[in-house]
Amino acid sequence: MTKRILGIDPGLLHTGWAIIESAGSTRKYIASGVILPKKTGELAERLAIIFNGVTELCKKFEPDEASMEITFVNKNPQTTLILGHARAAAMVAISVQNIPVFEYEPNRIKKILTGGGHADKTAVDKMVRILLPGANPKTPDESDAIAIALAHANTTQLQRFIS
Amino acid sequence: MTKRILGIDPGLLHTGWAIIESAGSTRKYIASGVILPKKTGELAERLAIIFNGVTELCKKFEPDEASMEITFVNKNPQTTLILGHARAAAMVAISVQNIPVFEYEPNRIKKILTGGGHADKTAVDKMVRILLPGANPKTPDESDAIAIALAHANTTQLQRFIS
């Protein structure tokens, strides 16, 4: 059974996205890109750009499932709070269309793709290109979104294998 | 000119809301209540309940403007991060309908209503009932939502007076 997965790497400046197809052990690159809310302007308007962008992606590509990173509070809690807003805007756009959203810890995504939980962005990007021929991400956000989609595909394949 | 204002006090368990009308120095209570996402379940689904609830309010009451508190990171940053998700779900529901969202610091709202920036919930609730005959909030979230709407009405009235 072929499953279409939407990977999202949310951010108030750049929200990376990727669509891949997964069937058994086969992965196929469909599309990827970045939603760019304007740099200035009210928070509410910028969230609306993310929401509308993700809504459009769901309508255009009709993914079966979506995958996102879990956000943890880091050294700058105020920045994390704003990231949480961007994340929620993307998440709710998917959820209101009844597409299930799966959440993964960042280290788990890195581990699934590279074997190590602390791989840097370059290592993740390299694995994305190896695992998904045709993918040519132009920014780290796009690369991360593909990684998030791939991690979900590999996790659910594994779960099917075990059960 | 009569202006209809939507006040929102977001939360993942209880999202308070209020609709008031403001014309010059007159304030009129229209409606208020609480959106209650289910206590268990995926974050994405709970955010969708808040989003759908606020969307419905906007369609039913057609507010001209909306008012919300600014969230700051408090002693528990992880809780604040989750609150940020609920806040964004409500905010984006308003914003995608092209209703402007005004944001106020919590202390400013208290000061506008009670004269003091550190008033407790009981003092805010008391002022809400004095300033807005007809309002009979049943929970603190509902009372706060009315306070947030009232603070916006009073601020914009003041701004018109100054300019």
pLDDT for residue A5 is more than 90: yes
> DSSP letters along A25-63, please?
TEEEEEEEEEE---SSS-HHHHHHHHHHHHHHHHHHH--
* Closest by Cα among A72, A154, A71 to A113: A154
pLDDT band with cut points at 50, 70 and 90 for residue A161: low
Asked if ipTM goes beyond 0.85, one says yes
Q: Is the dihedral of CA B114, B153, B158, B71 positive or negative?
A: positive
pLDDT-above-70 percentage for chain B: 96
pLDDT band with cut points at 50, 70 and 90 for residue A73: confident
Instruction: Write down the pLDDT at residue A88.
Output: 97
> Looking at the DSSP assignment, which residues form a beta bridge with residue B8?
B17, B68
Whether A69 sits among the annotated catalytic residues: the reply is: yes
User: Which of B47, B71, B92 lies at the smallest CB-CB distance from A47?
Assistant: B92
pLDDT band with cut points at 50, 70 and 90 for residue A163: very low
A86 contacts on B by Cβ (under 8 Å): 88
pLDDT for residue A157 is more than 80: no
Distances in Å between the Cα of A76 and the Cα atoms of A79, A80, B77 are 6, 6, 10
pTM summary value: 0.92
Domain CATH number, residue B148: 3.30.420.10
What's the rounded mean pLDDT across residues A23-52? 94
CB contacts < 8 A, A to B, total: 98
Whether A105 sits among the annotated catalytic residues: the reply is: no
Determine the structural domain holding residue B131 and report its residue range: 3-162
What's the rounded mean pLDDT across residues B109-126? 88
Q: Which chain A residue lies closest to B45 (C-alpha atoms)?
A: A95
What's the rounded mean pLDDT across residues B13-29? 95
pLDDT band with cut points at 50, 70 and 90 for residue A49: very high
Q: What share of chain B is helix, strand, coil (3-state, %, to 5)?
A: 50, 20, 30
Q: Which chain A residue lies closest to B85 (C-alpha atoms)?
A: A88
Q: Do A44 and B77 touch (CB under 8 A)?
A: no
Residues 6+ apart with CB under 8 A from A66: A5, A6, A7, A8, A94, A99, A100, A101, A102
Instruction: Write down the pLDDT at residue A75.
Output: 78
Chain centre to alpha carbon of residue A10? 7
What is the SS3 assignment for B153? helix
Q: Quote the number of domains for chain A.
A: 1
Q: Which of B15, B55, B80, B91 to mutate to test the interface with A (most CBs of A within 10 A)?
A: B91
A47 contacts on B by Cβ (under 8 Å): 88, 91-92, 95
What is the SS3 assignment for A62? coil
- pLDDT by residue (tens digit) across B57-80? 999 999 999 999 998 887 788 888
pLDDT for residue B161 is more than 70: no
Chain centre to alpha carbon of residue B91? 10
B71 contacts on A by Cβ (under 8 Å): 81
What mean pLDDT is reported for chain A? 92
Instruction: Write down the pLDDT at residue A71.
Output: 87
